[in-house]
Amino acid sequence: MAIQTLGSRQVQATLDATGLNTGNWTAQLTDQILNSQVDPYEIYHFYVSTSTGVNFTSPGAIGQFMVWINNVPWDNEPYSANNSWDPSQPMILHPGDEVDFFFSFGTGTPPIVTAWLRYNDGTG
């Protein structure tokens, strides 16, 4: 089995338009952004940029995000500030799937999510 890269995809969060995270940043890795013709493929690594202008050190102000696949919760991260997130189990996806990052804040600069994709080409 040979693992092949599909490269990376990057999206900047915008104020939520899904209705699932009102008033906060949401980063949507839509089917058009993921743009994979391979079935199945996986996201094996995420990098989430720091949102500047947010005071995460004040009491109770911890930037968090939840990750959903096709409007279903998949995972969460308790600290969103400039983190490299490598899930212990890669996210298996199919063309048409969407991955959303719902941040717990909507101030400061929008976070940027970078996803790294790969697939098994069935050889070796």
| Segment 41-72, tens digit of pLDDT | 999 998 888 666 665 555 445 578 899 999 99
Range of the domain at 95: 3-120
Domain count, the chain: 1
Instruction: Work out the mean pLDDT of the chain and round it to a whole number.
Output: 86
pTM, two decimals, is 0.86
User: Using an 8 Å Cβ cutoff, are 38 and 56 in contact?
Assistant: no
CATH number assigned to the domain comprising residue 47: 2.60.120
**Would you place residue 123 in the very low, low, confident or very high pLDDT band (cuts 50, 70, 90)?**
confident
Report the candidate in 16, 19, 12 with the shortest Cα–Cα distance to residue 113: 12
4-13, 35-44, 76-85, range with the lowest pLDDT: 76-85
| Segment 86-115, tens digit of pLDDT | 667 889 999 999 999 999 888 888 999 999
